[in-house]
Amino acid sequence: MIVLGIESSCDETAMAIVKDGRKLVSSVVASQADLHSKFGGVVPEIASREHIKAITPVLKKVLDEANMSLDDIDAIAVTYGPGLIGALLVGVSYAKALAYASGKPLYAAHHIAGHISANFVAFPELEPPFMSLVVSGGHSHIIQIDDYTDYKIIGRTRDDAAGEAFDKIARAIDLGYPGGPKIDKISQGANSEWLQFPDSHLSGNQLDFSFSGVKTAALNLINQMEMQAKKDNIDVWDKFSKADFCASFQKAIVDVLVEHTVKATETAGLDKIVIAGGVAANSLLRSSFTEACSEKGWKFFAPPMKYCTDNALMIASLGGFMIQAGYEPVDMNLDAKASLDIETFASMKNK
């Protein structure tokens, strides 16, 4: 089964061709990160316009790299949610046009499920069940994977996503966008114990996340440091260490991500943890999980860096497993959904 995947949920226009859910044939990503960096984050309308410009050249390139035509494709899978509605609409509309013109079946894929599926391409030996942490600029979920398309949400953020918190703090200290990689880089070798940020204590599901408190604490600290530096007539980052500040903030985010995921894995009686999403590229997150899983005797899977950010190989892979699981193709009434629960998506195969 050869699947063409299409991804346009945020600021990457991507297509990929994957065979049987596991074997990557070709992958192309047209990123808009440099364009949005001057705004400190993704501007939705600009993202949508750039998707329109890029999507046809990306299709041509991915087919050329695979030495294939649309006739060689068995099915098309497209991200229809969650994400920026305008950006999603570009990919969904294009996928419907391709499916209609080529006569190929079209499958509606979930963005978060796609991130998890990228690991099936990266690690041929990986099989469910396992616990997955999906962390990005828009999502922070702990998800139990019982089968290739069976998902159970164990914990999720109640406010900011981890990547969103990184972006906001990076913008506040003039590091730029995207914030996560920049905070990770400046934190290398710095003192992560310079400051102890507050922990969030939640009622209800203790495996949920809340990053608004640590973000607010960081913003308040920045304001306090700026006032102190102003009194001394000196730049704030000449008086204080930006690297130590970032390292401490990063540790506060990573510690809770690892702690909650390990607790969820223990409770479920599983012995494998898989991470996915843009924040999965964070070096401290990877090393912390490596250490935690080693202590438990568990297996740990972290995708290659190039598979962490948005791409289409994850969507093509998911499409292959959706077909195997009995999902039905969608018709031309498919619409994009800015908000889409992964458990709702999983239930589609039973309809």
Is 179 annotated to bind ligand? no
Is 140 annotated to bind ligand? no
pTM higher than 0.85: yes
Q: Is the separation of the CB atoms in 125 and 325 below 8 Å?
A: no
Is 184 annotated to bind ligand? yes
Total residue length of the chain? 351
pLDDT, tens digit (0-9, with 9 covering 90-100), for 105-127: 999 999 999 999 999 999 999 99
**Could you tell me where the beta strands, DSSP code E, fall in 232-298?**
272-276
Q: What is the mean pLDDT for each group of 10 consecutive residues in the chain (351 residues)?
A: 96 96 97 83 91 98 98 98 96 98 97 97 96 92 96 94 93 91 96 88 83 94 95 94 97 96 98 96 98 98 94 98 95 95 83 57
Is 18 annotated to bind ligand? no
Compute the distance between CA of residue 212 and CA of residue 220 in angstroms, rounded to an integer.
12
Is 180 annotated to bind ligand? yes
Is 310 annotated to bind ligand? yes
Which tokens hold the place of 189?
A: 């070798």
All domains of the chain, ordered by start, with CATH?
2-119+307-347 (3.30.420.40), 128-302 (3.30.420.40)
Neighbours of 255 (CB within 10 A): 16
Is 139 annotated to bind ligand? no
* Residue 103 burial class via C-beta count within 10 angstroms: exposed 0-12, middle 13-18, buried 19 and up: exposed
Is 212 annotated to bind ligand? no
Is 297 annotated to bind ligand? no
**pLDDT value at residue 351:** 57
Q: Is the separation of the CB atoms in 170 and 242 below 8 Å?
A: no
The DSSP bridge pattern shows strands 2-7 and 106-110 to be unpaired
Is 176 annotated to bind ligand? no
Is 111 annotated to bind ligand? yes
Residue among 187, 190, 189, 168 nearest 179 (CA): 168
What's the mean per-residue pLDDT of the chain? Answer: 94
Is 40 annotated to bind ligand? no
